[in-house]
A and B are shown apart, each in its own frame.
Chain A
Amino acid sequence: MGGRRSVFVVSMMAFGFAFLYVPILSMIVYSFNESRLVTVWGGFSTRWYAALLHNEQLLGAAQLSLKIAAINATGATLLGTLAGLALARFGRFRGRALLTGMVTAPLVMPEVITGLSLLLLFVALEQVIGWPAGRGITTITIAHVTFSMAYVAVVMQSRLATLDESLEEAAMDLGARPLKVFFVITLPIVLPAILAGWLLAFTLSWDDLVISSFVSGPGSSTLPIVVFSKVRLGVSPEINALATILVLIVTIGIVTAGMYMQRQERRRERDVQQAVAARG
């Protein structure tokens, strides 16, 4: 019985993984394709990687995307943390329901609408106060912060809600003023959540296409915009090479983080065992 069941489980798992990863694998394989035609195998080659190194447009777009993603992640983390803090810690203040709604609205708002409304706002602002001048990095970053801070706020609110409030009270009781309590107690404890929020905001910005295309201007095409416009004109093997590199970076990141967390977990377990042994 166990044998048959495990065959079933294994095959389902294989299907699942295949469903998720075969497309990526085929893309990686074709990135080493000699042929210019994406769908025809013409032998092994790394020429598209070399070509990629000389493709100023793609590299420039990647650089721009990284820059926007980093600025956005930092700004969104700052604002999102403050919003999460207000929602989790300040009790029932005037306008709390409104803030909750406003903070979570971008999560459910269709991107097209967010993008369009931001575009209208930027155009109107330019006409009235002359800022932001045209569409570019600034407008894209502002737009990204607008929607990604909502995700950070939600992450932070749920983390702070599970944080024992008596920790902060204990620090205050021992003589620390509220601001010091925040920096010495609250912040270090929720730091992992802040980092998670930062990474989340970074990825949201990194692969955003819809909102970016509304608020970008000439000369400020992010990587997703460039890739998407290239794909429309026919897939170039360079894109495969680029995607493979990105997949590689992401994989290294995930594996490293996984290994680090596993080590932490093991150390924690060992500590708990020690504590139990020392008891009594």
Chain B
Amino acid sequence: MSNARPDQRTEARQDTRAEPYVRLERVTRKFGDFVAVDDVSLQIRRGEIFCLLGGSGCGKTTLLRMLAGFEQPTSGSIWIDGVDVTGLPPYERPVNMMFQSYALFPHMTVEQNVAFGLRQDRIPRAEIKERAGAMLELVRMREFAGRKPHQLSGGQRQRVALARSLVKRPKLLLLDEPLAALDKKLRQHTQFELINIQETLGVTFVVVTHDQEEAMTLASRIGVMNHGEIIQVGTPTDIYEYPNSRFVADFIGSVNLFEGRLVEDEPDYVRIASDELGGAFYISHGVSAAPGAVVWVALRPEKIQISREQPEGDGDNRIAGVVAEIAYLGDQSVYLVRLASGRQVRVTQPNIVRQGSAGRITWDEAVWLSWDATSPVVVTQ
């Protein structure tokens, strides 16, 4: 298992080859009147795991299929390693894909499945056998080489599909919801295995997923998509901590969004008054918006402290409320706190103290919420 944290991996990759390896230029794909992918420009670096994240129908799969060559862009161009592949059919692209359904050929054995791609290239028989064997070794499926796909479990099929898509040493591997068909325990295990294999082979991965947790674990960078457009591209940390819009803030994790008005805008801080909050946010970073403009403040539930005592200091970044609801999730508890304005705020606290101990905050208690000046994020759209 890889112990590298996503941001460490990202740094390791970013420092060397920064020039784009895969380049999408103003790619649009229309189906009749429906615009599945809308003017997307995107750059993917060599050796990274890039995740396209979005809800169903956001265009992420269409984008992936255009990279594979199954769909042609209505306009725009796609470049891989300096070559324009826009018009190329799938069988002429240095790209392989792992399908969501795995698409293993049912009438062939595991080994024949893995060797299929090599056989198309008229590689000598001995070399095919060797490379297919090595790839099966890598995914720990060598002992199953003679089995047919229907004789395998879901996890085993997934590994065969991965071996088959990697055996041709593609410049780019596309993975369509690679873990969706696995159960939760197996999925968590496989995520790290995927990262390990990717690091061993150094192949560039583009992963499509609707599961933000999967994207956060796998990706060095994430592209969040909605309605055929890429809303934000960034590292998992960027996306989570510095969302650029209400959509991204809301889509990744849970968030409390407050509508507010910019009242003070200095280079090193802003103050935003919010009727919804019934108070003001003091935020220790500047924003680029006109004074008086309507903005939104995104505040993550885990960045709010909840306490019975009034916090010390002056009046911003705190608010009084009453606990309306508590959900105990084992490792953490979720509190819904109702403010004087009527707005409910979601707060999560790790359960450091064992549940049932005396002195815990309970229903209908009056509490204070407070947060750090660095915690809220201002989004203007």
Residues of A within 8 A of B (CB): 164, 166-167, 169-177, 180, 185, 188-189, 268, 271-272, 274-276, 278-280
Contacts and interface: CB of A to CB of B under 8 A. Distances in A.
B155 A279 contact: yes
22 contacts: A164-B101, A166-B99, A169-B90, A169-B97, A170-B99, A170-B164, A171-B105, A171-B116, A173-B95, A173-B165, A174-B117, A175-B91, A177-B91, A189-B105, A189-B106, A189-B107, A271-B150, A271-B151, A272-B150, A274-B151, A275-B150, A278-B153
B96 interface: yes
A175 B147 CA distance: 23
B96 A174 contact: yes
Given A173-B91, A175-B117, 18 more contacts: A164-B103, A170-B97, A170-B103, A170-B105, A171-B116, A172-B70, A172-B91, A173-B69, A174-B96, A175-B168, A176-B116, A177-B91, A188-B107, A271-B151, A275-B151, A275-B152, A278-B156, A279-B155
Interface residues on B, range: 20 to 34
Contacts of B156: 275, 278-279
Contacts of B70: 169, 172-173
A164 B104 CA distance: 10
A176 B148 CA distance: 21
A25 B156 CA distance: 53
B91 to A, nearest CB: 5
Contacts of B101: 164, 166
B162 interface: no
Given A176-B120, A177-B91, A185 B68 contact: no
B292 interface: no
Contacts of A175: 91, 117, 120-121, 168
Give the interface SS of chain A, mostly helix, strand, loop or mixed.
Answer: helix
B99 to A, nearest CB: 5
Contacts of A276: 153
A189 B104 CA distance: 12
A268 B121 CA distance: 33
Given A268-B150, A272-B150, A278-B153, A176 B99 contact: no
Interface string B151-179: 11101100000001100100000000000
A174 B151 contact: no
Contacts of B106: 167, 189
**Interchain residue pairs A-B with the least CB separation, the first 4:** A175-B120, A174-B117, A279-B153, A170-B103
B89 interface: yes
A91 to B, nearest CB: 11
A23 B156 CA distance: 54
Name which of A164, A170, A176, A268 has the most chain B CB atoms within 10 A of its CB.
A170
Contacts of B100: 166
Contacts of B164: 170, 174
Contact of B89 (A172, A274, A275, A280): A172
A244 to B, nearest CB: 40
Interface of B: 68-70, 89-91, 95-97, 99-101, 103, 105-107, 116-117, 120-121, 144, 147-148, 150-153, 155-156, 164-165, 168
B123 to A, nearest CB: 11
Contact of A174 (B144, B147, B153, B168): B168
A175 B115 CA distance: 12
Contacts of A177: 91
A175 B90 CA distance: 7
B103 A174 contact: no
Contacts of A180: 120
Contacts of A166: 99-101, 103
A166 to B, nearest CB: 4
B48 to A, nearest CB: 21
A166 B165 CA distance: 13
Nearest to B89: A172
A268 B89 CA distance: 37
Given A174-B116, A175-B121, A176-B120, A169 B103 contact: yes
Contacts of B148: 271
Contacts of B105: 167, 170-171, 185, 189
Contacts of A170: 97, 99, 103, 105, 164
Given A166-B103, A185-B105, A173 B90 contact: yes
B153 A173 contact: no
Contacts of A164: 101, 103
A276 to B, nearest CB: 7
Contact of B120 (A174, A271, A274): A174
A159 to B, nearest CB: 13
**Chain A CB within 10 Å, residue with most, of B68, B89, B106, B156:** B106
A275 B120 contact: no
A164 B107 CA distance: 13
Nearest to A174: B117
A265 B100 CA distance: 27
A160 B147 CA distance: 25
Contacts of B121: 175
